[in-house]
Amino acid sequence: MNGSTILVINCGSSSIKFALIDTGADTQLVSGWAERLGQPEAQLGWKTEDARGSQPIARADHRGAMEAIIDRLEEIVGSRYGGTLTAQLAGIGHRVVHGGESFTRSTAITSAVLAEIERVSHLAPLHNPANVLGIKTAQALFPHLAQVAVFDTAFHQTLPEHAYLYALPYELYEQHGVRRYGFHGTSHRYVTRRAAQMLDRPDADLALISAHLGNGCSAAAVLNGRSVDTTMGLTPLEGLVMGTRSGDVDPSLHEFLSNQLGIGLADVTNLLNKKSGLLGLSGLNNDMRALEAASAAGDHRAQLAIDVFCYRLAKYLAALAVPLGRIDAMIFTGGIGENSALVRAKTLDHLAILGFRVDAERNAGHGRQSNGAITQDGSTLALVVPTNEEAMIAADTIELVRQGIAEG
């Protein structure tokens, strides 16, 4: 693991997810999470290829949690690979949710870059401040190490104006940055590149639609390696039905619900983000696995939630064919996209108009025996491509570290 090991950090307001990746061997050595930070129940968990564990880190704040993570990693690295983590780490890659229009690619973090991430934080007030805290904590612990920011929005900065502008007074865009940014960019970039490798074609000559279906869901149209449209907007609430998010609703809904329910705007926003989607429709769960089981057992609302999810998804995937002109492949990824044969089949059945015909056996096997393909020969191609955002963040980080060394 010498010289090519990257620590990937995804820092939230009360949690830190991390992964230690050997970019040379393209392997994840350790992954883990610290959660419920600041509370008595704070926990640190980790897993390696063949072992896992957890420990209490009561009341640890972000700094305390990061120190506990480093201690744990030092132990694992020392016992498994020899030497110390700090001696072998080449850099730290941070997931940053919002880069506004300032960041079109992953960027080495300088004080000016950090200030700019803070300046655009009003666009993601729940996420960017936590990401910044993660960067500052890592800088304090590893002052001599290169730190890189990898933005969820960056991949979508290639959207043309007609795709990213809302039909609102133009001044709102100019003065307040109101436009569609899109998210999940790291995942869409990773799976579209992987698809190009799997198809053995250059990604500079491919028209792909990628559906990232996890607890959050978005789809993107990617033409010749560049994102040309996507379903999320100014915030991650726009577009598809998600675990607890509504996706698109009538823009008048805020006022309507505020009047009907006598609640404020913040409560309506909370309802649309936290209590809607699969959870709201089913009244049961935001978890697709649980809904599939409940639906199979005859629960009508669970069935309904799945139906709405797949219908909306299909409609938006069809819309993403517009900027492409053709579809070389449709990609399913994320927890649902990679594992739910039911969702994929239902969605592609709605898309027969675009030439999709599911192969039941390939789909049931999640494409693992057919180079990702889940469609019949002669059909428009649909693929399952497992995502790996941590690997993408690590790859960007090591590339920038190497460039820095070359330039320095």
Four-residue CA torsion sign, 113, 116, 120, 121: positive
12 interacts with ligand AMP by CB under 6 A: no
| Nearest alpha carbon to residue 208 among 222, 194, 196 | 222
By the rule CB under 6 A, 122 interacts with ligand AMP = no
> Sign (positive/negative) of CA torsion 198, 201, 202, 205?
negative
Q: Is 229 a catalytic residue?
A: no
The residue range among 80-88, 150-158, 177-185, 288-296 that interacts with ligand AMP, by the rule CB under 6 A, is 288-296
SS3 10: strand
- Answer yes or no: are the C-beta atoms of 261 and 249 closer than 8 Å: no
Helix axes 253-261, 265-274, angle to 10 degrees: 110
User: Which listed residue (334, 366, 367, 381) binds ligand AMP by CB under 6 A?
Assistant: 334
- 363 near ligand AMP (CB under 6 A): no
148 phi and psi, to 5 degrees? -125, 140
Contact criterion met (CB below 8 Å) for 109 and 96: no
At closest approach, how far in Å is the CB of 355 from ligand AMP? 26
The binder of ligand AMP chosen from 52, 59, 119, 289 (CB under 6 A): 289
Burial class (CB in 10 A: 0-12, 13-18, 19+), 329: buried
- Report in angstroms how near the CB of residue 182 gets to ligand AMP at its nearest: 17
* Using rule CB under 6 A, residue 339 touches ligand AMP: yes
- The CA distance from 333 to 145, in Å, is 33
Does 214 bind ligand AMP (CB under 6 A)? Our answer is: yes
Structure tokens at 35: 């959660």
CB of 171 to ligand AMP, least distance (A): 37
Query: Which listed range, 70-78, 106-114, 330-338, 392-400, lies at the site for ligand AMP (CB under 6 A)?
Result: 330-338
CB of 340 to ligand AMP, least distance (A): 4
**Rule CB under 6 A: is residue 386 a binding residue for ligand AMP?**
no
Q: Does 287 bind ligand AMP (CB under 6 A)?
A: yes
Distance CA 266, CA 282 (A): 23
**By the rule CB under 6 A, 15 interacts with ligand AMP:** no
Q: State which of positions 238-267 bind ligand AMP (CB under 6 A).
A: 243
Active-site amino acid positions? 152
Binding site for ligand AMP (CB under 6 A): 214-215, 243, 287-289, 292, 334-336, 339-340
